[in-house]
A and B are shown apart, each in its own frame.
Chain A
Amino acid sequence: MTTTVIISIFLAIFATSLQNARGATMEPCLESMKTASLPDLPYAYDALEPAISEEIMRLHHQKHHQTYVTQYNKALNSLRSAMADGDHSSVVKLQSLIKFNGGGHVNHAIFWKNLAPVHEGGGKPPHDPLSSAIDAHFASLEGLIQKMNAEGAAVQGSGWVWFGLDRELKRLVVETTANQDPLVTKGSHLVPLIGIDVWEHAYYPQYKNARAEYLKNIWTVINWKYASDVFEKHTRDLDIN
């Protein structure tokens, strides 16, 4: 008799805990939501000199990117609460904070990989297949660089200039986005190969208002290997299809 009672109690507790677990797994995406974290820079802060100064790299990585990460996580947290509460007004209101800070995180995470010290291949032109693709779309590597620099210089206010792959149309493009909008906001089939930050914080301590000079110099530390890897990965997928 006592054994039955104990077993019943045990089963009751087990059933309750199952219920709780089920309650939790009703919203798995919220419970297991991963927050963002500041990625390490793949090189020393002074490794991109003289194209980009150590001072800029420190501020850009430790202050600006870190702030985007912190604010993005904060916004995600608020979003989690709002969703749990069914507070749809707040859910909608949080979107701009998420877009801005999340975009900042996404864009800068790509940016650090877009750059490399000269002794690690920074500035070294791409090989095929990317090289031929560039020639086909922009006549030459210089042609692409000129277009990027012209578009980058023309961005009014804050934003980015991108060299990207359009997976749907199977071609290479140069695009700009405003503020921290990721490239995908210009088209869901766009894959960023190289992004160049043209916010003033990206160049001001060193270049002041001379954005064109910053754009000219940054090509000496652009990591074409990363761009090639991403390009090849996505065009392999396309070929298989």
Chain B
Amino acid sequence: MMSVAVTAISSSLSYSPLLLPSQGPKRRMQWKRNDKRQFSRKVAVSGVITAGFELKPPPYPLDALEPHMSRETLDYHWGKHHRTYVENLNKQIVGTDLDTLPLEEVVLLSYNRGNMLPAFNNAAQAWNHEFFWESIQPGGGGKPTGELPRLIERDFGSFEEFLERFKSAAASNFGSGWTWLAYKANRLDVANAVNPLPKEEDKKLVIVKTPNAVNPLVWDYSPLLTIDTWEHAYYLDFENRRAEYINTFMERLVSWETVSTRLESAMARAVQREQEGTETEDEENPDDEEPEVYLDSDIDVSEVD
């Protein structure tokens, strides 16, 4: 089983002014380089680090998810689609400022507050697919244990209610996209604004639908689980029957262990950020100014309540 730390990160990062000329005086997001999540980099014989994210294989053999997700699907979905995103991303960013950064930061910077830079599609899809392979496992499905079901019950009423809403969201996401279970903390509903008065009730599980390559990292949520509803994810096994694919995914594939581990990290990070927030807030607001609020008004965020 792959123990995966969620990739949203926190600490100081100084932006190159070339990348974000309109950066305001207050830092809105803070990331920490999470060394465990570094994508491997090729090191040339000369010892010089060259550009290049690598395509990481799923944490199980390509036929291990049969009969629920066929070997053929993995061959194409991972072997072609995912691979192409990684390769094209590398070609796109080689020699640029984005070249030396971890993937998560490439995603966030190229998102560019909704006015996506060309690298976003490939970067986000590379990230999304790795996250997706790790969200499922052979012999998956069933129900979660531990803290997760408690939170699910608190935020959705019951596990069955959560399932119903998650499946409904995935089935009704028009076109290409992803449906997510995410942990949202210390943020107002207005994207990326820091909640000046964080409360326990603000920390909660949410279901989010995103179009094409978008993922909840861009709103500073912690993704816990995702299902790919691009047609290429299910067409070979289910043809147009997306609802059947979603059922199979939830009943036979989802890795609740991984989701639980991600939740633990997300909760810990939220607490840590809260503590850091109260410490730095006084420094950052010497004149008692309001925190700046940025709106992604051109993004269609469909959040299922």
Contact = CB atoms under 8 A, between A and B. Distances in A.
Interface of A: 59, 63-64, 67, 96, 100, 156-159, 178-180, 199-201, 204-205, 208-209
Contacts of B240: 59, 63-64, 67, 201
Contacts of B81: 209
Interface stretch (B5-13, B173-181, B247-255, B271-279): B173-181
Contact of B239 (A59, A100, A209): A59
A178 B212 CA distance: 10
B231 interface: yes
B214 to A, nearest CB: 10
A209 B80 contact: yes
Contact of A204 (B121, B177, B235): B235
B231 A204 contact: yes
Given A156-B212, A157-B212, A208 B231 contact: no
Interface string B80-106: 110010000000000000000000000
Interface of B: 76, 80-81, 84, 121, 174-177, 211-213, 230-232, 235-236, 239-240
B235 A157 contact: no
Nearest to A100: B174
Given A63-B240, A156-B121, A204-B235, A209 B174 contact: no
5 shortest interchain CB distances as A-B pairs: A157-B176, A200-B231, A157-B212, A179-B175, A158-B175
24 contacts: A59-B239, A63-B240, A67-B240, A100-B174, A156-B212, A157-B176, A157-B177, A157-B230, A158-B231, A178-B175, A179-B174, A180-B174, A180-B175, A199-B231, A200-B176, A200-B230, A200-B232, A201-B231, A201-B235, A204-B231, A204-B232, A208-B76, A209-B76, A209-B84
Given A157-B213, A178-B175, A209-B76, 6 more contacts: A59-B239, A96-B174, A158-B175, A158-B231, A200-B232, A204-B236
Contacts of B211: 157
A205 B236 contact: yes
Contacts of B176: 157-158, 200
Contacts of A63: 239-240
B266 to A, nearest CB: 28
B213 A156 contact: yes
Which residue of B175, B212, B236 has the most chain A CB atoms within 10 A of its CB atom? B175
Contacts of A96: 174
B235 to A, nearest CB: 5
Contacts of B80: 208-209
Contacts of B236: 204-205
A56 to B, nearest CB: 10
A179 B231 CA distance: 12
Contacts of A64: 240
Nearest to A66: B240
Contacts of B212: 156-157
With a 10 A CB-CB cut-off, give which of B176, B177, B230 has the most chain A CB atoms: B176
A236 to B, nearest CB: 36
A134 B178 CA distance: 39
Contacts of B213: 156-157
A224 to B, nearest CB: 29
A159 B177 CA distance: 13
